[in-house]
Structure 1
Amino acid sequence: MPGTPAAFDRRAALKAKSRKAILDAADRLMRERRSTGFSVDELAAAADVSRRTVFNHFDSLEAVVTAAAGRMLVDIVDAMEAEAAARPGESATVLGDLAAAGSADHLVPTVAYLIEVLGGMEQAPSERGAVLMQRAIALFTAQISAVITRRHPRVPERQAAFLVAAFSGGLLGLVEHWAAATGGTDTPASRRTWNDLLAELVEVLREPTD
């Protein structure tokens, strides 16, 4: 019957499957074209869904691009959490976890790619590219907030939330300074510059206790 839990679960699974197909297709098109220069019709064809299905999941093509970019950053947070879980004997602070997630080895490859694809954050950043990067980092912030809550249950929730928000705001500024200094490319020298800027950010935000 349509109203049964099993039917609801099937609909939810199909919805999740089509949303993933759309994001996977957007990711493929972005990598193939090194830009976001594709239409909704092209995206729908690549995802093997209808145009209407795309809009059932996303308000606009910009929303699809933002979600696809944000998913790349969210994957980095998931990897950081897995790495931390593999070292259960090590104690870490909230800020230490944030710094680990924001390290050059984790973020520079993806950020450099997004700068190229989104077309912003260079010496004269495009407004669209800057806004899309900001939205992607907002998704990164939401994911890392959940990770911090799980990893540091004894830290007051509001204190942790303030620190995550401050770090993420600083991270967006870090991206701007880093791109201006390095051209936004992934090289050994640009990774060193990133980590130098990250160390400055951590020092500004350093917490006295955890």
Structure 2
Amino acid sequence: MTAKPEAVDRRTALKAKSRKAILDAAAALMRERRSANFSVDELAAAADVSRRTVFNHFDSLEAVVTAVAGHMLTDIVDAMEAEAANTSGDGATVLGDLAATGSADHLVPTIAYLIEVLGGSFEDPGERGAVLMERALSLFTAQISALIARRHPRVDELRVALVVAAFSGGLLGLVAHWRTATGGTDTPASRRTWNDLLAELVALLREPEA
């Protein structure tokens, strides 16, 4: 017997509510502890769900943390899109929009926070933290790729995808160099260093985009 549409909608809403509760609880634990070091049981208790429910939504605790970190980065893209909606895209370039989104004022506060909470010391960042940062940036890449495609509908989709992928790959390397140079903290000096590194990345990628 086929489930009624209202029953399906109710289950979908409950699943979405549980997933949001898990992500909100993980984000709160990360803020409270300034780290991602908590257990599935602690997360389940904070979200007021069962351990089984956590695993119904996520394959692992790392997947939860990645989703939280990814949302922080994609929120930046959403904010940029809201700003862009109030301005004309005339004269804007793919690389120019990418550079604007990747500026220190937009990314450094979140990147510095994620460096702190994802684990590892400055001297030894740790494999787990590096992997989680890379996964979070991949979510950022997907979001920004969609934004750029909407902003530049006349540019070939493959070209957009390749430029965004190259930029995002360079951004991951930029994070590592920036952390080494600054300690990965958010200060006026570290933001200047970030923007200097970003300018080098953009210069390397600059090419005709029409």
Q: TM-score range by the shorter chain?
A: over 0.9
Mapped to 2, the partners of 1:139 and 1:121 lie a distance apart of: 24
- Equivalent residue pairs, number: 210
* 1:170-185 → structure 2 map (5 Å cutoff): 170-185=170-185
CA contact (8 A) 1:122 1:176 kept: no
Q: Does 1:61 align with 2:39?
A: no
Which residue does the alignment assign to 1:206?
206
Which residue does the alignment assign to 1:91?
91
- Measured at CA, do residues 121 and 136 of structure 1 come closer, stay the same or move farther in structure 2, by a change above 3 Å? farther
CA contact (8 A) 1:149 1:160 kept: yes
Mapped to 1, the partners of 2:37 and 2:101 lie a distance apart of: 30
Mapped to 2, the partners of 1:101 and 1:6 lie a distance apart of: 41
Q: Deviation of residue 124 (structure 1)?
A: 3.0
Code of the aligned partner of 2:105: D
Mapped to 2, the partners of 1:144 and 1:206 lie a distance apart of: 18
Which residue does the alignment assign to 1:74?
74
Code of the aligned partner of 1:209: E
Mapped to 2, the partners of 1:101 and 1:8 lie a distance apart of: 38
Q: Deviation of residue 104 (structure 1)?
A: 0.3
Which residue does the alignment assign to 1:3?
3
Which residue does the alignment assign to 1:147?
147
Which residue does the alignment assign to 1:156?
156
User: How large is the Cα RMSD of the aligned pairs?
Assistant: 1.4
CA contact (8 A) 2:19 2:57 kept: yes
Q: Unaligned 5+ residue runs, structure 2?
A: none
Could you list the per-position Cα deviations for residues 162-187 of structure 1 after superposition, in whole angstroms to 9, with x for gaps in the alignment?
Answer: 00100000000000000000000000
Q: Unaligned 5+ residue runs, structure 1?
A: none
Mapped to 2, the partners of 1:133 and 1:121 lie a distance apart of: 14
Which residue does the alignment assign to 2:34?
34
CA contact (8 A) 1:115 1:121 kept: no
Give the TM-score of the pair, scaled to structure 2. 0.96
Code of the aligned partner of 1:8: V
Q: Does 1:15 align with 2:19?
A: no
More divergent stretch after superposition (172-181 vs 16-25): 16-25
Code of the aligned partner of 2:110: T
CA contact (8 A) 1:77 1:101 kept: yes
- Measured at CA, do residues 144 and 5 of structure 1 come closer, stay the same or move farther in structure 2, by a change above 3 Å? same
Mapped to 2, the partners of 1:21 and 1:2 lie a distance apart of: 29
Q: Deviation of residue 87 (structure 1)?
A: 1.1
3-state SS of 2:107 partner: helix
Q: Deviation of residue 41 (structure 1)?
A: 0.7
